[in-house]
Structure 1
Amino acid sequence: MPNPLQGAQFMLAAHRLSQLPADEGAEVAFAGRSNAGKSSALNALTNHKGLARTSKTPGRTQQMVAFSLPPPRDGSPEQASQPARRLIDLPGYGYAKVPLDMREHWKQEIDAYLHRRRSLRALVLIVDIRHPLKEFDRLMLQFCADTGLPCHVLLTKADKLSRGAASQALAALRKQFAAEGLHASAQVFSSSAGTGVDEARNAVANLLQQPRPDHPAQS
């Protein structure tokens, strides 16, 4: 099966919202705590091992990083003129060694990005399958529920659990979503074992094709 995210390339790293590429086309943002495996997930999804920097030291992603995607390979004459597509890697959140003023800066920038970015189509939330949802995860999920922004959760590091335990964790999360009125989709995922990679690629590709959620931009 062809990879719909093949050909991703680094565009730029932005310290502020105003430094991101022009707010046009479509993009899907990746968010998660800094030790949840976000960079590894991006590399697996795009089949590009060096796309997002990985490190044994969490908290390395301290800028908003934009990656361009080529147009879908549909063979049509209009292919080259299709709207731009991007993946946005948001700063890892929650790592204690990141200075407090940096954490506050990124809290404000991520909030501004989620509220103002009109090309944003969806959020992919990276969550370690071995741990319950943290405050940051809940904030992201609640924001998506409140604004109608689609959210797809990758329960990463599924290779650390048995298949049965991973399935139980997914079922428990979906039950929690239903109980709390959160309308996110979710799947198990492992970048190292390849679990759920094709499913996640197709989910992201489909989200990039969705119309912009009708939530008001804020200044």
Structure 2
Amino acid sequence: MHLNNDGFFRGTAFVTSIAKPTGLPPAAGPEVAFVGRSNAGKSSAINTLTGHKRLAYVSRTPGRTQLLNIFRTPAGCYLVDLPGFGYAKVPEAVRRQWVGLIEHYLMNRDALIGLVHVMDARHPLTPLDWQLLEWFAPRGLPVHVLLSKADKLSRGKAAATLAEVRRALAPRGWQVSAQLFSALQRTGVAEVETVVGNWFAAAQQHTLAVVASTENGGC
């Protein structure tokens, strides 16, 4: 997968919003999901990566993103913005709907090739973050931890936090990587582009190999 001069995510466009698992459209290409606790900076990260101010909805009130939103990159790959999790001040029925939508997508979507897990760099690896990581691990897909709002920390503290997160994740044996990110300062964009771009490239190569095997009479 080759990035154009504008970056992997530039030119990304909105496709549709989903409120219930039954509303998910058939997969049209590889998908990468963005997930994170409410107010972790997920929507701001997506807007910064794509170069849009309001492609993903940003609210000062945690828990406002209630839908699963799908976006298409110029390469024909898809970004999926999942509802923020962990915010208690919403009606229980709404919370159950969010959880059901997130769980159904992450566990059942065959087109999913990787997960970008956004965490506030000031409060990384909360119990809910660990819970999601451990629950998702059996799928065997790569996870990239985005430590957002890194500009809120001093350079030394940010570097120490990144090292601590990587150290905590290493013994688990998961396909997980981590980086610092700041939507405000636009730092860390190229690193995310490289990670996600490599996931998409690997998915495309796998698809081509399967097609070739089928054409040659393989199983």
TM over 0.5: yes
* One-letter code aligned to 1:3: G
Bigger fraction of residues in helix: 2
| TM-score after normalising by structure 2 | 0.86
SS of the equivalent of 2:79 reads strand
185-194 vs 131-140, which deviates more?
131-140
Matched positions, count = 201
SS of the equivalent of 2:107 reads helix
Partners in 2 of 1:165 and 1:183 — Cα distance?
A: 25
* Residue in structure 2 matched with residue 81 of structure 1 by the alignment: none
Partners in 1 of 2:194 and 2:22 — Cα distance?
A: 30
Query: How far apart are residue 107 of structure 1 and its match?
Result: 1.2
Do residues 118 (structure 1) and 110 (structure 2) align? yes
Do residues 49 (structure 1) and 53 (structure 2) align? yes
Structure 2 unaligned regions, length at least 5? 207-219
Query: How far apart are residue 168 of structure 1 and its match?
Result: 0.5
Partners in 1 of 2:116 and 2:70 — Cα distance?
A: 14
Report Cα offsets for 1:124-171 as digits up to 9, x if no partner. Answer: 000001114123311222234322111000000000011111010000
8 Å contact from structure 2 (residues 32, 114) kept in 1: yes
Do residues 23 (structure 1) and 27 (structure 2) align? yes
Alignment of 1:80-99 (within 5 A): 84-99=76-91
After superposition, the CA RMSD in angstroms is 1.7
* One-letter code aligned to 1:18: T
Partners in 2 of 1:3 and 1:132 — Cα distance?
A: 27
Query: How far apart are residue 176 of structure 1 and its match?
Result: 0.3
Partners in 2 of 1:188 and 1:31 — Cα distance?
A: 16
Structure 1 unaligned regions, length at least 5? 72-83, 214-219
* One-letter code aligned to 1:66: I
| C-alpha spacing 1:94/1:186, structure 2 compared with 1 (3 Å) | same
| C-alpha spacing 1:179/1:48, structure 2 compared with 1 (3 Å) | same
Alignment of 1:165-204 (within 5 A): 165-204=157-196
